Amino acid sequence: MIKLTRIDDRLMHGQVAFTWTPALGIDCIIIANDKVAKDEFQKMTLNLAKPSSAKLLIKSITETISFLNDARSVNMKLLVLINSVKDASLLASEVKEIKSINFGGIRTKEGSRAISKAIALTEDDISIIKQLSEKGIELEVRQVPSDKKQLIETLI
């Protein structure tokens, strides 16, 4: 069961490992990223950052879709991490269980504008967000579980 789908361009870090994971009782964290799935050094580094209470899987987007749609994943308490709005949209379009996406952190890059202290979006991101919203997917902003949910539509 997917407990949280989170966009965070840092992927695994302290907030995820020591706040979200215990708060949601996560026993498996999945990093869905094509580039990281092929990078042994990055995989090793991310594995060092994971909490000891959870298993870490690092898969391509396609492999993640297959895994999340497999009945064997139903009994796990899953945290899905992606680092872009585009990848989140791909997952949400193929995994019917994804009904909500948490925006944790997307750093400023060329062509983006800040909509909160931790999130900067491009026009392409905003377009994708509007499409996801039209499909009825909750799009919420929270750094940590104790923060009040804020719908991203109110910020763009």
Q: Which residues are catalytic?
A: 13
Sequence-separated (6 or more) residues with CB below 8 Å from residue 151:
138, 139, 140, 141
Q: Give the separation between CA 88 and CA 69, rounded to whole angstroms.
A: 15
Sequence-separated (6 or more) residues with CB below 8 Å from residue 64:
30, 32, 80, 91
